[in-house]
Structure 1
Amino acid sequence: MAAINTDVQDSARYDELIVLPPSDMAAMVRLASLLKRHSEPPGLVGPDGEQVPLPLEVYEVLVQVVAAMKAGKAIAVAPLEQRLTTQQAADLLGTSRPTLVKLLDEHEIPYEQPGRHRRVRLSDVLAYRDRRRQERRARLDDMTRQAVEDGLYDASSEAYTQALRKARGKPAV
């Protein structure tokens, strides 16, 4: 079983915090089943038999981690104040490093530059990602509302194509 580094330093590599699901999923499936059967947080039993109740907050994180790993996903547990390199932040956003640097230069994401290299807080990257998701949802809602108002949901595919061409300023075919 892989350990999660709880003594995370600013210089720690983000990819070192990533834990892959186990190759033998049997134990993960049993744990997921146990967590699903019980609504109250379980306790932990130490190697010496000492029992400690699991705090609700830790239990909720454990449920999410187990569900992700059972689905074959890798996980990373990091403090929100963790500082990332520009490459790590770009990887997290699923974009290129030059694109991330452009976002930093445009003040879309705050950063620190203690020396030669910029550092970005994980919390700021996640906040940016959430803002972008909300903006995309709002644009999609607006486009859907406009399509309903224009009657495009009742239109044939040809009429819809013509309306798109018109909206894009292209001549009708």
Structure 2
Amino acid sequence: MTNGETRELPPELSKIIDQAFRTLAANGHVTLGALPDELTSNTAADVLGVSRPTLLKLARNGEVPSSKVGSHTRFKRDDVIAFKAKREEARREALLELMDMQDRIEGLA
């Protein structure tokens, strides 16, 4: 604040700002933006870090909820974000499992 006043940030916002600073310090870049409630397949694919064909396959398989608007596939922002969080958690669990396996193998040596 310009008048010397300080405010405590909510924990969620503090975590976001901390991550942004860490990314910038590591010579990364940070982009802030808002997502609409309904996403196009291109935008949803970008959010998930997958190709559009991969996203559409996930939608056909029922892994990511979607709806049709004419011939266009649309995705709810919250569904896409929830799917992304689920995938990230699965990746974390797989990594921990691999690390555990490595520890057991090293313990046998």
TM-score band, normalised by shorter chain: 0.7 to 0.9
**Greater CA radius of gyration, 1 or 2?**
1
Any stretches of 5+ residues in structure 1 without a counterpart? 1-30, 42-55, 156-173
Residue in structure 2 matching 1:102, options 57, 80, 94: 57
Q: Which runs of 4+ in 1 moved over 3 A?
A: 60-65
2:7 partner amino acid: S
Evaluate the alpha carbon distance shift between residue 40 and residue 143 of structure 1 in structure 2; reply closer, same or farther with a 3 A threshold. Answer: closer
CA distance in 2: counterparts of 1:77 and 1:137, whole angstroms: 26
| CA RMSD in angstroms, aligned pairs only | 3.2
Q: Which has the higher contact order (CA 8 A, sep 6+)?
A: 2
Higher helix fraction (1 or 2) = 2
Identity of aligned residues (%): 31
Any stretches of 5+ residues in structure 2 without a counterpart? none
Structure 2 length normalisation: TM-score? Answer: 0.73
Evaluate the alpha carbon distance shift between residue 146 and residue 61 of structure 1 in structure 2; reply closer, same or farther with a 3 A threshold. Answer: closer
Equivalent in the alignment of 2:6: 38
CA contact (8 A) 1:109 1:128 kept: yes
Structure 1 length normalisation: TM-score? Answer: 0.48
- Number of aligned residue pairs: give it: 100
Residue in structure 2 matching 1:91, options 46, 59, 63: 46
